[in-house]
Chain A
Amino acid sequence: MAALELENVSIRIGQARILNDVSLQVPAGSFTCLLGPSGCGKTTLLRSVAGFAPLSAGDIRIGDRSIAGLPPERRETAMVFQSYALWPHMNVGENLAYPLKLRGVSRGERERRVAAMLERLDLAHCAKRPIGALSGGQRQRIALGRALIIDPPILLLDEPLSNLDAAIRRTLRTELRDLQRRLGITTLMVTHDQEEALSLADRIVLMRDGRIIQVADPETLYTAPADLDTARFLGVDNLVPEGGATLAFRSTQAHAGPRALHAGLRRQGRVIDSTYAGGAWRIRLAVAELELTAMGEASLAAGTPAWISVPDHALMRFDAHRDAA
């Protein structure tokens, strides 16, 4: 059953169409990522669920309740912002307690729940600290706790990890995933980072130009993108025209070397250059009028002949008419 449902949602600002007839069902308990290049409408879609982007047409439902006409404060969605958006005039404990205060929860109950949340976030010692004294990772954890403390039916995450440095981002990613699994809370997250989407989500909604292009689980999306543009966005960097179709593959799944391997696609060319890519060499080859890239165990001198071999399972075929569409 869909916990959250968008039906023919369109959003226009002036003449610009930000979202174009978008329909989406978010299953209960799922972790769904909205993925796409910047300007594709993914953040607007998330904000429309929270009530910050008014719809030009369509409907949004949580369960069987339409929320499209409700102001943000009555939607019961909990959102975590990219900038954390913690309230600087309140300390950590007060930030966590405020949503409960708004719901008329008694002081004793508030204190109990704030303490439990801080315990869960592993920040029990921070209750009295001002927001300014926290690190970025701690701030984002508090922001997450503030959203979860009201037990919302839907958790909305707007690029929650993109302001953090790489190491903390990896840790928090794991924490986020564990927390989401444990609570079973329906989660909708916006990201432009495909690695993040692939590792966190159990469903990915790929968007482009205000439309949904593909909805799939991470593996399907990665191995069978709906069209060539999607494939390119997901890191498919080699295109080989063949007949009326285009064969596409990732450099990382192709092999370059002095001899051809037994593979679905084999082409001979000349080495343009080799660069070390950690563990292997990334080798650029000129194959007829094409330029292809593949990985090799050793560096190859520029100008020497070499083979590029791509295994069957790494090849994606796109028909010309679908590419044009």
Chain B
Amino acid sequence: MEKKNNFSFQLDVTDFLPADESEKQSMVIMRESTSFWKDGYRRLKRNKLAMISFVVIVIVLIMAFIVPSFYPYSYEQQIRGSENLGVMEYSKEEIARMEAGEKVFPHLLGTDSLGRDITIRLLMGSRISLLVGIVASVIILVIGSIYGSIAGYFGGKVDMIMMRAVDIIYTVPDILIIILLSVTLKYPLRDLAEKVPGFQWIETVGVGLISIFIVFSLLYWVGMSRIVRSQILTLKEQEYVVAAKALGASSSRIIRKHLLTNSIGILIVTTTLQIPASIFTESFLSFLGLGVSAPMPSLGSMASQAIGGINSYPLRLLAPAAMISLIILSFNLLGDGLRDAFDPKLKN
């Protein structure tokens, strides 16, 4: 027999003793196994843009929901003599008060033509936008999940009829119906608030805001219901669901325990991305004067009112415009990050 190598004479006999298990295992480097959530969280943390967006969102939330409660001015307060002040300017009256030793909180972004502090209006406008975005998305999530999971779980004729309805709503040009609803819905709502006891809260929240919630939840749940349904359809073929059925679990228990918990990732991502979409539409409606009613500010209506004075007071336009863009951008980036981290398959 011929050999290529010629060092066989120098072979050490001990080299040819059998290796034990631990020696063999030393060659195998096992990567740490991680759970779905841990893995996703790690990926999310590595996504700098998403993390920055998350911080921005938290800051904006604090500014919009906490800061106004101890801010020295209120959004509808008209300070006489302080109309049309520029950034950090004081009116004569205020200067006099300061000279008298009183402390006057500065108008960080100035005041508008009615003497209202722009900073607090900007914060309140952000509050409205965020409120619309978050509340509408939660409503959409609830309606969409319930509808979609029922259709997907029962399948067959139920599914067919329910999804045909979804198809029709889906093809309805939503923005036109939203405008139409915004135009008309405030009348019955106002009636309801004035005449029916127990509905006064509508006035407090605002007819405009309530009608926006109704409009969004009437139209935007269809997308969510489609996603949930297709999730359920794939999941219900899985063995553990068949096993649960065989063990006699009720339908509602299966939907809650097995199906919804397993599609939770996709629900979180879709809801996060629904928030900026809702804010987008709200700002559009407010810009056209169909959103929340005065004196309640909204970023869209603030921008709309500022257009006339764009030459002299560009900041009144640019501040809400920048704010709305920042909010939507942050939510978009966070949603994209969540999607990449928890459900890479969902891309497009």
Q: Do A and B bind each other?
A: no
Q: Which residues of B contact A (CB under 8 A)?
A: none
